[in-house]
Structure 1
C-alpha cells in the first residue's frame, strides 16, 4: 500500500457535504454578483456597486481555491507533512540570553540590568525543565 488516500474518500458523506456546500455558496455569490451588477446599471453606473459585484466574484474565486487546497491536501500522502518539517531539536520556550559582543561589559542602565537578569533566570529555568 502506498499510503496515499483513495480518491473514493472524497465521495464519503462528509466530503459530499463539503462539495455541496461549496457549490451552493459559489452559486449564491455568483447570483449576488449579478444582482449587484444590475443594481449598478440601475443606479447609472455607480462605481461602488460595480466594485461590490467584482468583489462577489472574487469571493467565488477564493472559495474555489480553498476547496481545491482542501481536496489536494487530502490527496497528499501522510508522510509528506512530516518530511516538510525540519527534524531539529524542539524549540525552547525562551531564548537564552547572550550578551552581544559589541555591548559594554558593565551595563549602566538599571532597567536593562534588571531585564537581563530576568531573562537569564528564565533561560536557566528553561534549561532545567528540558534536562
Structure 2
C-alpha cells in the first residue's frame, strides 16, 4: 500500500502538538509535581508500565520489571536509549504511573523497547523519551 508523500508531515505535526501540550501541562502543574517528586509514594508497577519522574520536566520511561527501566535520557549532547535501575531513573524522586494506551501485550511492549536499545536519534520535538514509550506501548 502506497502512502501519501506528505504522510510523514502529518505524523510530525501530530508529535509536535502532543509534545507542546505536554510541555504546557508540565509548566502548569510544576509546583504540585515538584512537591510530589520528593514527598510522594511510588505506585505498584507491572512490566510494560509507562512511568515518569518529575525533574524540572516530566521524564518518561518504560518499566521492564525486576527493578529495571528503559528510557531515552539526554544528559549531555546526544540522547541514547538505555537501561537503568529504577533507583537510578528515580534519582531520589517519586515515580508517577501514566495510563497511556496499551495496544500490545506487555511482553511485546518490552520486546519493542529492547529493539531500540542503544538508539541515538533523540529529537526533542520528534523522537523524545515520551515518544519512545508511547511507540513501545501503542506504535
Normalising to structure 1: TM-score of the pair? 0.26
Which of these two proteins has the greater Rg computed from alpha carbons? 1
The structure in which a higher percent of residues are strand is: 2
The structure in which a higher percent of residues are helix is: 1
